[in-house]
């Protein structure tokens, strides 16, 4: 019912590394030019698992925003904010909790998985059970249409769609809905009214999804419809009643698997990371001490790049000519491992250079970051307030 709006959040639970850059941030930077984008620090989500180490959160919030900016997220293109500074998220979470079946939360695959994974921590809390619902509130409060997430988060977006549907089903009914919807069709004008009705019939009688999409874009183009009529006509397409909350789509980011220093996926829990703005000397040290093909004990032993984690990084950072040089040199023992690692070190440093430069101004003047976030929170709050007005009205809280 609204133009594309992208929303995504990240938990401030640790230093961002190059895995985050290749897996998430590069994608955000690209999307900010194509869509309206909202990116936020999910500090309440971090508390669901880190409730006993608040200092971790405090430390990481601002560092994480600096990492985003360093990676090229541009506050003049995207809105950046902090979840807890838009308290409407909590209000929507509470209101949605009224209609959320406990079983839906208990059956979330992430619930048991995470409890097992973080077995050192007691996660049989109310807050942790509600994690996916808080995420739904994050998404629905902005009527986001696209949610870029990793594979593990897809069930949460699916769950959000079900919550939106349930909400619309319960609260979208209004007295005389059909009559009002028919009256709204008339307001589209002869030709468009006829087209809308045809497309709706095709969808409802034949399940024609393309017809549904066409009808939706037809509505998207109608500038003069009131918000109420717009919601009715969207709702009327699929049956039901008014569509108060809109269903988001998960946007699966092409899983670029960034290899870590040991050849496994780069991840904090494997201790194989290079941070986004890692000290230059440290980058060199980490790569120089990377394990290589274990068969190359002596410099004169030939090796096989397929068995070497350094090769994985050449696949990310090196061009064809360099890769060819590695293949030849490694298999013939023509080059040593230290030599082989040099172009990788250079590649990482070059990638990080603009990030370090961008970060520097924010490190020099932290008030810049505070201001960016203050602006973002204000924008986000405006949008959130609009949705909350509709939600409160729908739930019988609109009295004055
Ligand atoms: N749960 C997400 C993660 O762990 C973070 C998150 C919180 C989020 N709220 C969100 C992501 C809303 C997308 C949309 O990665
Ligand atoms: Fe790995 Fe390169 Fe050494 Fe071969 S030469 S084992 S690819 S580091």
Domains of the chain, each with CATH number or no CATH = 5-172+251-257+365-394 (3.40.50.620), 177-237 (no CATH), 277-363 (1.10.240.10)
Least confident span in 22-36, 60-74, 203-217: 203-217
Kindly state the average pLDDT of the residues 91-107.
Answer: 97
Phi/psi for 188 (5° steps) reads: -70, -20
State the pLDDT at residue 239.
74
| Least confident segment among 196-205, 307-316, 336-345 | 196-205
| Amino acid 1: pLDDT | 42
Q: Which of 292, 342, 343 to mutate to test the pocket of ligand 2 (most atoms within 8 A of CB)?
A: 292
pLDDT of 83 above 70: yes
Ligand 2 pocket mutation, candidates 300, 308, 338, 347, criterion most atoms within 8 A of CB: 308
- 2: pLDDT strictly greater than 60: no
**Could you identify the atom of ligand 2 that is nearest to the CA of residue 341?**
8
C-alpha R_g of the chain:
25
Query: The tokens 């007005």 sit on which residue?
Result: 389
Q: Whose CA is nearest to atom 7 of ligand 2?
A: 305
| pLDDT above 80: residue 253 | no
Ligand 1 neighbours, Cβ below 6 Å, are 7-9, 11, 42, 45, 135, 138-139, 147, 149, 153
CA-proximal residue: ligand 2, atom 4 (nearest): 330
Find the 9 Cα to ligand 1 centroid distance in Å. 5
Q: Rounded distance, CA 157 to CA 97, Å?
A: 16
**Which ligand 1 atom minimizes the distance to the CA of 42?**
7
Query: What pLDDT, on the 0 to 100 scale, is given for residue 315?
Result: 96
Strand partners, 259: 265
C-alpha distances (whole Å) from 126 to each of 43, 46, 117, 246 are 17, 14, 18, 26
Distance 349 CA to ligand 2 centre (A): 19
Stronger pLDDT, 116 or 137, i.e. the higher one: 137
Residue 238 has pLDDT above 90, yes or no: no
Q: Is 290 touching ligand 2 by the criterion CB < 6 Å? A: no
Residue 354 Cα to ligand 2 midpoint, Å, equals: 28
Structure confidence at residue 255 as a pLDDT band (50, 70, 90)? low
């Amino acid at each position: 019912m609204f133009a594309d709006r992208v929303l995504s959040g990240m938990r401030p639970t640790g230093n961002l590394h190059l895995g985050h850059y290749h897996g998430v941030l590069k994608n955000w930077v690209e999307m900010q030019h194509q869509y309206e984008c909202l990116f936020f620090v999910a500090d309440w989500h971090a508390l669901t698992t880190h409730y006993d180490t608040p200092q971790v959160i405090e430390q990481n919030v601002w560092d994480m925003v600096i990492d985003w900016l360093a990676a090229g997220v541009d506050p003049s293109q995207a809105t950046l904010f902090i979840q807890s500074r838009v308290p409407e998220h909590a209000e929507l979470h509470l209101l949605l909790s009224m209609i959320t079946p406990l079983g839906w939360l208990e059956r979330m695959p992430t619930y048991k998985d995470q409890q097992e994974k973080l077995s050192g921590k007691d996660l049989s809390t109310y807050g942790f059970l509600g994690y996916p619902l808080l995420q739904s509130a994050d998404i629905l409060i902005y009527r986001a249409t696209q949610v870029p997430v990793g594979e593990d988060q897809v069930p949460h977006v699916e769950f959000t769609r079900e919550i939106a549907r349930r909400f619309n089903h319960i609260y979208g009914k209004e007295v005389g809905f059909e009559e009002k919807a028919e009256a709204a069709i008339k307001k589209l004008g002869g030709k468009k009214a006829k087209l809308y009705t045809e497309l709706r019939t095709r969808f409802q009688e034949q399940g024609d999804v393309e017809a549904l999409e066409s009808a939706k874009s037809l509505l998207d183009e109608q500038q003069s419809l009131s918000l109420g009529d717009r919601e009715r006509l969207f709702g009327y397409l699929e049956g039901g009643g008014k569509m108060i909350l809109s269903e988001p789509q998960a946007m699966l980011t092409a899983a670029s698997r960034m290899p870590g220093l040991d050849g496994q996926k780069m991840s904090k829990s494997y201790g194989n990371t290079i941070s986004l703005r890692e000290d230059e000397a440290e980058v060199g040290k980490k790569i120089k001490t990377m394990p290589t093909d274990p068969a190359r004990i002596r410099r004169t032993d030939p090796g096989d790049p397929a068995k070497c984690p350094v090769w994985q990084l050449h696949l990310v950072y090196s061009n064809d000519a360099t890769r060819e040089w590695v293949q030849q040199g490694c298999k013939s023992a023509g080059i040593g491992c230290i030599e082989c690692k040099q172009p990788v070190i250079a590649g990482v440093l070059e990638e990080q250079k603009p990030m370090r430069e961008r970060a520097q101004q924010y490190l020099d003047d932290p008030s810049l970051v505070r201001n960016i976030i203050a602006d973002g929170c204000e924008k986000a709050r405006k949008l959130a307030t609009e949705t909350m007005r509709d939600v409160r009205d729908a739930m019988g809280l609109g009295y004055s």
